[in-house]
Structure 1
Amino acid sequence: MSAGVRIEDPTEDELRRSMVLKWGTVAPGVIPAWVAETDYRLAPVVAEALQRAVTDGVTGYPADEVGEGPLGEAYAGFAERRFGWRVDPSFVLPVADVTAGVRLAIDLLSAPGALALPVPAYSPQLGLGATTGRDTVAVPFVSEQGRAVIDLDALDAALGAGASTLVLTNPHNPCGTCPTRAELEAVRDVVVRHGARVVSDEIHAPLTLAGAEHVPYLSLEGTADHAVAVVAASKAFNTPALRCAQVVAGDEGTARRLASAPKPQNSSWSELGVRASTAAYEQGDDWLDALLVRLDQQRTLLTERLATDLPLARVRPLEATYLAWLDLRAYGHDDPAAVALERGRVRLAPGHDYHPGLAGHVRLNAATSPERLVEIVRRLGVALA
């Protein structure tokens, strides 16, 4: 981390003005720790890029950016520096957001058949089947040394029964797990055996914490012809309002099929998002390194406070993201998020949003100030006791 680069914590009043969903929709006195946005000031390189663009009047339609342009080059450089993954810039296609990119890939590339979806799952993924006209087959995780690992037998059964596409989340939201190379290779082998496709949501890849390694699925041998990655700067640099993600193809044929999508199927990404993402990918390494240090500190602080204030809580090892998946069943509440809001004035994401019917779980966003995180856990402990 370069000297002088630091993560800045806005005041609550500033957050209520800037974070219109996370902070703007909760009552005064409630601390929000639910939606996956960070409570930190915008990275200066991103803010400066946006200010220049607005000064220049860049508020019109974006360039197509298909097979050329700065965004693909910027992401390719970022992927090689951060993950050791060599990406052809011409295989990088802009989309409005990651969910739109996953949907586009399924629509254009996947054979007929159900979606195999590991659960718990990022809540918008639970609706992918309905929006793409497919059934969804839940594939459970198994626990290995406390880590969430895809049940390969269940995946094999799902694909064997006709599911054609695995929707992979790497790193995983909400479990916070960063799959190892061996785990991903095992998944690949099952997928290849069935001739299935993988759409890998890798939006949280830049947020891999110390002690873990992000392995892009497309970096594995034997994946280029059956997989795409969907990536974005929006989680690491907190820019979801700018509407810009990217689908990365593994080979030229896949890239051509994605680029051939008619405008109604892939449009509405933002030129401001392109400018911000390009700046983040090209110039944001020092700030991102500082963010990872802060998130590592928050991870340690969360572990300490849970041991003190919520000793019966069980939590998956947080290897990536800033989202902790808490098993609070020992406290006897089916919906601990509702109890936390009513009694503790803390808003968390309920577990049933990620796995319908699942009781006793919550997702907690730790990307805030240390003082707020301490207060969140304290309030949660009082509410559930």
Structure 2
Amino acid sequence: MSLIRDLTDEEARAALVLKWGETEPGVLPAWVAEMDYAIAEPITSALRDAVDRGEVGYPAFVRSGGKLGEAYAGFALRHFEADVPPDRVLPTADVTVGVRIALEVLSERAPMVLPLPAYDPQHGLGRITGREQWDLPVEPDADRYVVDLDELDRLFARGARTLLLTQPHNPAGHVHTREELEGIRDVVVRHGARVVSDEIHAPLVLPGAEFVSYLSLEGTADHAVAVVAASKAFNIPGLKCAQIVTGDDATRDRLVEIPMAQNDSWGSLGVVAAVAAYTEGDPWLAALVERLDQQRMLLGRLLTENLPQARMRPLEATYMAWLDLRAYGHDDPAEVLLRGGVRVSPGQAYWPGLGGHVRLNIATSPERLTEIVRRMAAALTGGRGGGDDGGASGAPPA
């Protein structure tokens, strides 16, 4: 029996109050990064036990290390062969908050470089931390996601001082190779700059690719942090517990010493869930990666059969596919697809001004994914669309 259980439509609408609850009945949600799967049993069991004993107050005032640091260190060693000292793991509310804190505390008050496309909440981080955002577009017509090192070098030469790296990448689904990361590191070091590496999707690298943490490279400890969490891999973003990982004690100490009000919003149940995920979730995670690999292959077949002019870079990690639909002639295909009964994320949320692209969430049942692509094809090609069946989606029966 598979450890991955598909939620029925009714269960998904009750559990995923944003992804499903904010989507009109009859429309299939394939947008926000939540999975249509039941939570891993070790996590639900740990949360039930915590609620039964009344553990819903403030979390223990541990600014680094503790049981959360030990749990993540063990997870990183098993999955990434990374030697992470537990006391260099600091709790924070979520990855976006962790990135903001790193910018505020560690980075010079100078422009930050953001490769495009970029996870949509990242677009506001420069503004709220008092920094200019300098975009680094990744060629949309290239077959692979490749950071232009020459352009990165020019941006640092002009005065940028921080690169916001997303590794593995959301929404492009790319896993940076060691060679690619070493090239980025060399440019950063040459200019005395800094890297904040969002590595939330590291546990979701699919077969054929290998995750390398930026901090694992020689010569990065003094200029970088990684921000990680169990939330995406284990489908628990609402519990609010991410981690900032530092490469040296000096960086850790700078982050530990900030005012409490700057980093005080992680939750006690989030800690419980993260510890359970990191210590007991390996079998469920392995089953999830296997399912996502199957979904990735299914999507490739469905696009070939139904939307042959769609272009997709290799999906090496995550469960979000970045689709180039420009050949179908719609500047805002997300709006067209919504009218056809599928809600996806518009590409302009990740690259303002870039038309013809969408981000598609494939973390659902094979039946739903098949129906999603069928409706997409009907909407984009002017055929008979779906969305009029009152919500039936090929989900398993309740």
TM-score range relative to shorter protein: over 0.9
Decide which of 198, 202, 212 is 1:201's aligned counterpart: 198
**Residue equivalent to 1:348:** 344
Contact 2:115–2:165 (Cα < 8 Å) also in 1: yes
Question: Could you tell me how far apart the structure 2 residues matched to 1:366 and 1:312 are?
Answer: 19
Question: Could you tell me how far apart the structure 1 residues matched to 2:83 and 2:21 are?
Answer: 40
Instruction: Read off the aligned partner of 1:53 and give its amino acid letter.
Output: A
Contact 2:111–2:133 (Cα < 8 Å) also in 1: yes
**Residue equivalent to 2:73:** 76
Decide which of 103, 106, 113 is 1:106's aligned counterpart: 103
Decide which of 188, 207, 216 is 1:191's aligned counterpart: 188
The percent of aligned pairs where both chains have the same amino acid is: 62
CA 1:364 to 1:144, structure 2 compared with 1: closer, same or farther past 3 Å? closer
| 2:247 matches 1:253 | no
Q: CA deviation at 1:177?
A: 0.2
**Residue equivalent to 1:138:** 135
**Residue equivalent to 1:360:** 356
Contact 1:340–1:384 (Cα < 8 Å) also in 2: yes
Q: CA deviation at 1:64?
A: 2.1
* Cα deviation code 1:83-124 (max 9, x no counterpart): 011101000000000000000000000012101000000000
**Residue equivalent to 1:315:** 312
Contact 1:336–1:384 (Cα < 8 Å) also in 2: yes
Contact 1:79–1:87 (Cα < 8 Å) also in 2: yes
* Cα deviation code 1:51-71 (max 9, x no counterpart): 010001001001122233100
What TM-score, normalized to structure 2?
0.95
* Cα deviation code 1:34-66 (max 9, x no counterpart): 000111000001101100100010010011222
* Cα deviation code 1:130-180 (max 9, x no counterpart): 110100000122479721011111111111111110000000000000000
Decide which of 365, 369, 374 is 1:369's aligned counterpart: 365
Equivalences, count: 381
**Residue equivalent to 1:211:** 208
- Any gaps of 5 or more consecutive residues in structure 1? none
Contact 1:350–1:361 (Cα < 8 Å) also in 2: yes
Q: How does 1:1-385 map to 2 (within 5 A)?
A: 4-142=1-139, 146-342=143-339, 344-385=340-381
- RMSD between aligned alpha carbons? 1.0
Instruction: Read off the aligned partner of 1:239 and give its amino acid letter.
Output: I
CA 1:100 to 1:220, structure 2 compared with 1: closer, same or farther past 3 Å? same
What TM-score, normalized to structure 1?
0.98
Instruction: Read off the aligned partner of 2:361 and give its amino acid letter.
Output: N
- Any gaps of 5 or more consecutive residues in structure 2? 382-398
Contact 1:65–1:71 (Cα < 8 Å) also in 2: no
* Cα deviation code 1:319-369 (max 9, x no counterpart): 000000000000000000000001x11000000000000000000000000
Instruction: Read off the aligned partner of 1:188 and give its amino acid letter.
Output: R
* Cα deviation code 1:5-60 (max 9, x no counterpart): 52000110010001000000111100000000111000001101100100010010
SS for the counterpart of 1:117 is: strand
Moved beyond 6 Å, runs of 4+: none
SS for the counterpart of 1:364 is: strand
Contact 1:337–1:347 (Cα < 8 Å) also in 2: yes
